[in-house]
Structure 1
Amino acid sequence: MTPTETERASLIQRAVTVLEYVAESGGSAARDIASATDLPLPTVYRIAQELVQVGYLVHLREEKRFALGYKLHKLGARLHEDLGVPRELKQEIARLHADTKMAAYLAIHRGADFVVVFVADSPECPRLEPMEFGFHETPHATAFGKLGLSEYTTEQRRSYLEPHQPHRLTPSTITDPDRLDEALREIAAEGIAWEHEEFQVGTACAAVPIRADDGLLIGSVAVSAPVSWYAGQRRHIEHRLRACASRAGRVYRLGHRPR
């Protein structure tokens, strides 16, 4: 990056940091934002005022705090429209949960990024705690993310991961580039991603891709459960996942393809 590009990226990152903190806190005073984000107070004021001008924040003067602006609702509504889950797909994921007795997921992929758009789980086998609806920054440690990374060439993959700096979430997380490349080549060849205690200790996941007619990865179906639940069941789980992904692919090919 040139110095100008680096400065612009830094400004954007700081603006996003302010937005995310305001969202998490439910609205905050500038001093609280500065304290929580380690940004200088004048910088917070400047960023917040600029975000107010474009509608991403509002200034609640009487309460002396900033809150999320209504323009974000429009962006969120458009994202939900793009990622809308047809009823047939919700039924497929619910069936996968019933068949495997494991938490079942549907994710939409955009390159190596993914968003979990539907989950079927139960008190006996709940979803992974951090696996809420939204994008994630640990593709190297999740079955979903590994599917996306396996679509890339080695050069593309390392270029993508460079700014993300893969880090160890558990003792089993693969962070070595060569080991990760080897694992991803195996996933690409077999068409299924297995993850054993790499995202959370004690839990394993498996994911199978959903592809468009042209072979493009557009989504995935997955399950998660305690490691012990997979004993003697791997073939059964793989069969159920592949069948579910095949049916989901047909739904998308009939006109419900995510954008």
Structure 2
Amino acid sequence: MALTHEPTAPYHSAQDALRVLETVARRATGVTDAEIARQTGLGTQRLTSLLRMLRREGYVEQTTDGSYVTGAALSRLGAAAGHEQALHEKLQNTLDQLRDSVGAAIYISRYIDGEVHVTQCAESLAAPAVHEWVDFRSSAHASAVGKSLLGQLDLNGRRDHLARHRMARLTSRTITSEKVLLSRLAAHPPTVPVLDLQEYAVGTVCAAVPITAGSSVGCLALSLPVEHAYRLRQAADRLNKGAAPVLLSLAI
């Protein structure tokens, strides 16, 4: 299975953040922002934004003299023992923060062994998760999650998936033509969120953005009740901006 995605803005942010982390980690006694800028070549505004994110996520800490050292979250993720548990907890914390800031249920989904898997979700009474009335694995053609994941595969990968999962009509808005779906996937820019406007379930709208790290295909998604559809594009934009910490956690 080959990938067709292009690097997104969150991907670039995560890569820059990794360079900053590597610079900080090399100096156990601490390193100043001026030294980080000199060693990474990042501009002041860009570096300030990245350091703010890294401090918020617990990956770096600022000492009393203003220099930066590695944080507790980086130590937990970097440890060989308990890495998976630490990663799950870190991602869940990030999803919970996104849920509250975006005001929507938030999901992480991965494409594993040819199937769609929603691996983590952050929901609340104010931001309820979508009811999985049809198995997400068999409804990729109708969901923002599924279309984002399929969009990151090559044409053969997309056709293989659709050959194994019949494109059932779930609502009056569901695309059931393979030709139409493949055409839309091919034309969709990778940096633009994929939307689901009541294609999977009546009463729910969704958006998804890629969070592909290395050869694994993944996406970050949100869902909203249809009465909040007017917020979808703004929420999707905030979701995209919030994807960098998720990608960074997956890359560490």
TM range (shorter): 0.5 to 0.7
* 4+ runs deviating over 4 angstroms: 81-85
Q: Per the alignment, do residues 92 and 136 of structure 1 end up closer, same or farther by CA in structure 2, a change over 3 Å counting?
A: same
Aligned to 2:77: none
Contact 1:147 1:207 in 2 (8 A): yes
Quote the RMSD (CA, aligned, Å).
2.6
Q: Secondary structure at the match of 1:126?
A: coil
Aligned to 1:201: 202
Say whether 1:242 aligns with 2:244: no
CA apart distance, 1:88: 1.7
Q: Secondary structure at the match of 1:128?
A: coil
Q: Per the alignment, do residues 83 and 171 of structure 1 end up closer, same or farther by CA in structure 2, a change over 3 Å counting?
A: farther
Aligned to 2:228: 229
CA apart distance, 1:203: 0.7
Q: Secondary structure at the match of 1:108?
A: strand
Say whether 1:123 aligns with 2:121: no
CA separation in 1, counterparts of 2:89 and 2:185? 32
Aligned to 1:91: 93
Amino acid at match of 2:217: I
**Mapping 1:76-115, distance limit 5 Å:** 85-110=87-112, 113-115=115-117
**Mapping 1:49-60, distance limit 5 Å:** none
Q: Per the alignment, do residues 84 and 109 of structure 1 end up closer, same or farther by CA in structure 2, a change over 3 Å counting?
A: farther
**Mapping 1:1-259, distance limit 5 Å:** 85-110=87-112, 113-130=115-132, 136-212=137-213, 214=214, 216-231=215-230, 233-254=231-252
Q: Per the alignment, do residues 226 and 176 of structure 1 end up closer, same or farther by CA in structure 2, a change over 3 Å counting?
A: same
Bigger Cα displacement from structure 2, 175-184 vs 187-196: 187-196
CA apart distance, 1:100: 1.8
Amino acid at match of 1:153: D
CA separation in 2, counterparts of 1:176 and 1:83? 41
CA apart distance, 1:229: 0.9
Structure 1: which 5+ residue stretches go unaligned?
Answer: 1-80, 255-259
CA separation in 2, counterparts of 1:181 and 1:235? 23
- Given the two structures, how large is their TM-score scaled by the length of structure 2? 0.60
Amino acid at match of 1:220: C
Q: How many pairs are equivalent? A: 170
Amino acid at match of 1:86: H
CA separation in 1, counterparts of 2:156 and 2:247? 29
Contact 1:111 1:148 in 2 (8 A): no
CA separation in 2, counterparts of 1:128 and 1:186? 27
CA separation in 1, counterparts of 2:145 and 2:93? 20
Q: Per the alignment, do residues 139 and 111 of structure 1 end up closer, same or farther by CA in structure 2, a change over 3 Å counting?
A: farther
User: Hey, which of these two has a bigger chunk of helix by percent?
Assistant: 1
CA separation in 2, counterparts of 1:83 and 1:142? 28
Q: Per the alignment, do residues 247 and 86 of structure 1 end up closer, same or farther by CA in structure 2, a change over 3 Å counting?
A: same
